[in-house]
């Protein structure tokens, strides 16, 4: 443990995990600022992390359920008893040949996270808590470029040359949930002469800084990009050199044929952007020295996979792959493997995916995320028996939440179908109410972690050390420490190292480093440069052909070999009964419930923070409905109904209603004292329109149709 002073570590008030310095005095965290060695930024949410650290709601002992699931009644137990219960159940499962019926749901801080190792060694299923909205982008990148995707990290805006174009499609970088360095990078790029274009039905903080805000119809982005692709090809403005040398033979011809009728005029009808504007943006992009596109949270885009596909095609034909200001391709830092490396079970063989009403489509599923709704189906059909949850809150923050709550309380012959539910928490959550065991986790100020995501924006392809800067209270243990202990009990051959620090030491040896050396270096290692056009030296891309794949033949049957321009199916359904589209957004004060911003007194302050979650309604729509600012209104979808306070705002299109995402917690003294409804109560469970889209996300967040009345 370091002593008082400014100590380098990593923030985890949101999933960007910025490099920060924590000022520690008398063994207590007092202040946070950005670490200058890691590009030096921290946002207000990160700085408010201190308030969370010392919350009286912290859990400091393991708890065991005493009532029924959902009642939230517990009694304290010892760690020995808690671990004995988990180990006994896991042994029983494995003895029956059902190890794959264990799933752990967690946010992966590193591709070498010990939790992944445990799951692979034991034979369980890995279910990351990666959000749906982002997954389409990941899948699109893998399928088109064949490489590790740029996961929830934006293009390297600090590399944009003068005249370059930055397109932010439903990404709220200025409103939070992004690397804290990003907003300044965007502003500095604009100062250099770059241009910012924001596509969003919601006038976000990003839109306020933009050169051009295009209030696209929700779910219309694919059509907009297809219209631009059509125009660029028709005018022969594409990057001929890149197309001839780096796109798989035959794919460009297929694209040309496919987009022949996707003219700006035709696409304008779908996306509600004037054809002239589609042409203008296309020409701006074709003439610019660089174009970068980013989209993530904030507004979840409908038809997410199609959009991810259209946007990667657009970048490819304009030659904006791995160039300054374009789409960076990450590179792997050579960490040492911890031998022996567990292989993990064959998930396709085990059949955990094969569930739901349209199960055949699961054969196309190529990513390791299982949405909450599918987790619920697996419980119901006996495919999931033990669930270990960490830094995720499926009972509140994901679509499918109500289905999940039903499934985890479902009984057969008097016993729960899900035989054991364990949740690691720093304070009680909606999810923990259903847990059989609640384990007291350490916060990001109290634990070791080697953060290793090769595509990290903040410091290039590198490694960041999270180190304990203060002691954890009571009996808190980090989930990684507990997984390592379970590994030593259940699969010791893969857990021969002493503890988490030794596990990281072995990996760091690949860089000639150790945890202690990394500490002395300020916690950050970076190769110093990202490099550009790396595919040239690498002999191509990671696809089988080594070229960019515009056409996805494996999705021919699903009708998605090329991006579909249509709006999300639900967008058109029940349009008469539910005339508005629900749009969710984010702000700098709030981040899903995994990080507890809803229980942070600084962020939920009624004056300087975000206290409640008003429904934003355009004044034109409000007037027609007789709704006034401040009225209590009822918003209903086919899935649910909520009450909220109306806030009239020109920031939202007249055909949309906007709610902030991530509200609705009833647990914790700050959350319970505030108000705020969960948009998820309105969003249909994924199963209602099961499609490949649902597996990779986004659709329902924007295509949920609602009605509103005072």
Contact partners, residue 280, CB within 8 Å, separation at least 6: none
Minimum Å gap between C-beta 597 and ligand SF4 is: 8
Distances, alpha carbon 25 to alpha carbons 30, 469, 564, 579, in Å: 7, 10, 57, 56
Q: Which of 293, 260, 259, 10 has the alpha carbon at shortest distance from 166? A: 293
The CA-atom distances, in angstroms, between 212 and each of 141, 216, 308, 345, 586 are: 26, 12, 22, 49, 20
Task: Give which of 355, 350, 358 is closest to 372, Cα–Cα.
Answer: 355
The H or E element spanning position 306 is helix 304-317
The binding site for ligand SF4 (CB under 6 A) comprises 11, 13-14, 16-18, 42-43, 45-46, 179-180
Nearer of residues 593 and 704 to ligand SF4, judged by Cβ: 593
φ/ψ of residue 523, rounded to 5 = 85, 0
The CA distance from 186 to 88, in Å, is 52
Nearer to ligand SF4, 449 or 631 (CB): 449
- Least separation, in Å, of the C-beta of 393 and ligand SF4? 17
Nearer to ligand SF4 among residue 601 and residue 654 (C-beta): 601
CB of 39 to ligand SF4, least distance (A): 10
User: Residue 527 CB, nearest distance to ligand SF4 (Å)?
Assistant: 22
CA distance 8 to 48: 17
User: Nearer Cβ to ligand SF4, position 13 or 103?
Assistant: 13
Select the residue whose beta carbon is closest to ligand SF4 and give its number.
46
Tokens 């914790």, located at residue: 668
- Nearest approach in angstroms of CB 34 to ligand SF4 is 7
Q: Give the SS3 label for residue 431.
A: helix
End-to-end alpha carbon distance in the chain: 56
Of 45 and 65, which has the nearer Cβ to ligand SF4? Answer: 45
Q: Which is nearer to ligand SF4, 128 or 595 (CB)?
A: 595
Distance of closest approach, residue 83 Cβ to ligand SF4, in angstroms: 31
Q: In Å, how far from its chain's centre is CA 672?
A: 26
Work out how close the CB of 663 gets to ligand SF4 at its nearest, in angstroms, rounded to a whole number: 17
Contacts 24+ apart (CB under 8 A), 319-323: 319/238, 319/239, 319/241, 319/242, 319/243, 320/290, 320/291, 320/292, 321/145, 321/242, 321/246, 321/535, 321/548, 322/532, 322/533, 322/534, 322/535, 323/290, 323/532, 323/533
Query: At closest approach, how far in Å is the CB of 13 from ligand SF4?
Result: 3
In the complex with ligand SF4, the residue whose CB is nearer, 173 or 695, is 173
CB 104 within 8 A of CB 126: yes
Nearer to ligand SF4, 45 or 361 (CB): 45
Least Å distance, CB 49 to ligand SF4, is 7
Residue closer to ligand SF4 by CB (options 29, 682) is 29
- The nearest distance, CB 591 to ligand SF4, in angstroms, is 7
Alpha carbons within 13 angstroms on the beta-carbon side of residue 485 total: 13
Nearest to ligand SF4 of 46, 215 (CB atom): 46
Is the backbone of residue 409 left (phi > 0), alpha (psi -120 to 50) or beta?
A: alpha
Given a contact cutoff of 8 angstroms between Cβ atoms, the answer to whether 263 and 321 are in contact is no
CA–CA separation, 379 and 396 (whole Å):
18
CB of 327 to ligand SF4, least distance (A): 21
Contacts 24+ apart (CB under 8 A), 92-99: 93/385, 93/386, 94/122, 94/123, 94/490, 98/385, 99/123, 99/124, 99/345
CA-to-CA dists, residue 361 to 290, 372, 561, angstroms = 37, 17, 14
Residue 256: exposure state from Cβ atoms within 10 A (0-12, 13-18, ≥19): middle
Q: Taking the complex as a whole, how short is the minimal distance between the CB of residue 55 and ligand SF4, in angstroms?
A: 16
Indicate the DSSP class of residue 684: P
Q: C-beta of 17: minimal distance to ligand SF4 in Å?
A: 5
Residue with smaller CB distance to ligand SF4, 385 or 466: 466
* Rounded Cα gap, residues 367 and 399, in angstroms: 18
Q: Based on CB atoms, which residue is closest to ligand SF4, 19 or 214?
A: 19
Task: Pick between residue 6 and residue 367 the one whose CB is nearest to ligand SF4.
Answer: 6
Is-contact 215 200, C-beta < 8 A? yes
Q: Which is nearer to ligand SF4, 46 or 72 (CB)?
A: 46
Q: Which is nearer to ligand SF4, 45 or 353 (CB)?
A: 45
Report the nearest approach of ligand SF4 to the CB of residue 181 (Å).
8
- Report phi then psi at 134, rounded to 5: -85, -20
Say if residue 534 is exposed, middle or buried (CB neighbours under 10 Å; 0-12, 13-18, 19+): middle
Q: In the bound complex, what is the minimum distance in angstroms from residue 299's beta carbon to ligand SF4?
A: 19
Nearer to ligand SF4, 154 or 664 (CB): 154
| CB 664 to ligand SF4: min, Å | 20
Pairing assessment for the beta strands 641-648 and 615-617 based on DSSP bridges = parallel
Query: Given the complex with ligand SF4, which of 31 and 211 has the nearer CB atom?
Result: 31
Q: From residue 618, give the alpha-carbon distance in Å to each of 433, 642, 648, 652.
A: 37, 19, 6, 6
Work out the number of other CB atoms within 10 angstroms of the CB of residue 350.
16
Does 59 sit behind a cis peptide bond, omega within 30 degrees of 0 on the bond before it?
no
Q: How far is the CB of 16 from ligand SF4 (least distance, A)?
A: 4
Q: Are 71 and 436 in contact (CB under 8 A)?
A: no
- How do beta strands 641-648 and 386-390 pair? unpaired
């Amino acid at each position: 443990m370091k002593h008082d002073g400014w100590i380098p570590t990593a923030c985890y008030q949101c999933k960007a995990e910025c490099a920060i310095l924590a000022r520690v005095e008398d063994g207590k965290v007092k202040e946070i600022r950005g670490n200058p060695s890691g590009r030096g930024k921290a946002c207000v949410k990160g700085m408010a992390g201190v308030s969370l650290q010392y919350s009286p709601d912290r859990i400091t002992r393991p708890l065991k359920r005493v009532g029924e699931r959902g009642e939230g009644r517990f009694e304290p137990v010892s760690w020995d008893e808690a671990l004995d219960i988990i180990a006994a159940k896991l042994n029983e499962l494995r003895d029956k040949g059902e190890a794959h019926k264990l799933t752990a749901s967690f946010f992966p801080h590193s591709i070498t996270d010990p939790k992944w190792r445990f799951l692979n060694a034991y034979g369980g299923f890995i279910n990351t808590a990666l959000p749906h909205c982002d997954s389409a982008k990941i899948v699109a990148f893998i399928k088109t470029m064949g490489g590790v995707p740029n996961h929830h990290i934006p293009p390297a805006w600090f590399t944009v040359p003068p005249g370059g174009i930055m397109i932010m499609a439903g990404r709220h970088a200025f409103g939070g949930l992004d690397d804290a360095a990003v907003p300044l990078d965007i502003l500095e790029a604009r100062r250099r002469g770059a241009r910012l274009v924001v596509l969003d039905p919601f006038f976000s903080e990003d839109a306020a800084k933009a050169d051009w805000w295009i209030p696209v119809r929700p779910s219309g982005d694919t059509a907009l990009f297809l219209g631009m692709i059509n125009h660029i090809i028709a005018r022969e403005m594409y990057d001929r050199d890149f197309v001839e040398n780096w796109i798989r033979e035959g794919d460009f011809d297929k694209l040309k044929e496919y987009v022949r009728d996707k003219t700006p005029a035709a696409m304008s009808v779908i996306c509600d952007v004037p054809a002239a504007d589609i042409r203008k943006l296309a020409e701006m992009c074709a003439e610019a020295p660089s174009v970068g596109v980013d989209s993530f949270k904030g507004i979840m885009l409908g038809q997410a996979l199609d959009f991810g596909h259209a946007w990667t095609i657009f970048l490819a034909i304009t030659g904006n792959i791995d160039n300054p200001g374009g789409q960076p391709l990450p590179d792997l830092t050579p960490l040492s493997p911890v031998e022996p490396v567990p292989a993990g079970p064959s998930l396709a063989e085990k059949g955990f995916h094969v569930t739901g009403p349209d199960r055949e489509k699961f054969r196309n599923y190529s990513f390791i995320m299982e949405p909450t709704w599918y987790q619920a189906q697996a419980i119901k059909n006996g495919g999931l028996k033990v669930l270990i949850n960490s830094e995720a809150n499926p009972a509140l923050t994901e679509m499918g939440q109500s289905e999940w709550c039903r499934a985890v309380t479902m009984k057969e012959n008097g016993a729960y179908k899900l035989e054991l539910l364990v949740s690691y928490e720093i304070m009680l959550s909606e999810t923990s109410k259903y847990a059989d065991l609640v384990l007291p986790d350490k916060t990001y100020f109290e634990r070791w972690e080697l953060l290793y995501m090769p595509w990290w924006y903040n410091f290039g392809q590198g490694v960041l050390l999270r180190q304990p800067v203060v002691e954890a209270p009571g009996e808190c243990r980090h989930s990684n420490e507990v997984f390592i202990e379970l590994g030593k009990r259940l699969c010791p051959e893969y857990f021969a190292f002493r503890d988490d620090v030794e596990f990281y030491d072995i990996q760091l040896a690949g860089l000639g480093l150790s945890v202690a050396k990394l500490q002395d270096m300020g916690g950050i290692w970076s190769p110093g440069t990202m490099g550009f056009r790396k595919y040239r030296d690498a002999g191509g891309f990671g696809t089988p052909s080594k070229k960019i794949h515009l056409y996805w033949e494996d999705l021919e049957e699903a009708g998605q070999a090329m991006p579909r321009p249509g709006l999300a199916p639900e967008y058109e359904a029940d349009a008469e009964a539910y005339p508005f589209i629900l749009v969710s957004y984010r702000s700098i004060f709030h981040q899903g419930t995994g990080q507890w911003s809803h229980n942070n007194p600084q962020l939920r302050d009624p004056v300087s923070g975000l206290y409640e979650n008003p429904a934003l309604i355009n004044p034109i729509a409000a007037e027609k409905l007789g709704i006034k600012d401040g009225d209590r209104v009822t918003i209903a979808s086919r899935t649910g109904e909520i009450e909220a306070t109306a806030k009239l705002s020109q920031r939202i299109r007249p055909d949309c209603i906007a709610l902030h995402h991530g509200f609705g917690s009833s647990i914790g003294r700050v959350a319970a004292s505030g108000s705020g409804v969960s948009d998820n109560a309105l969003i249909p469970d994924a199963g209602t329109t099961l499609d490949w889209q649902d597996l990779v996300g986004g659709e329902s967040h924007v295509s949920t149709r609602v009605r509103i009345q005072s």
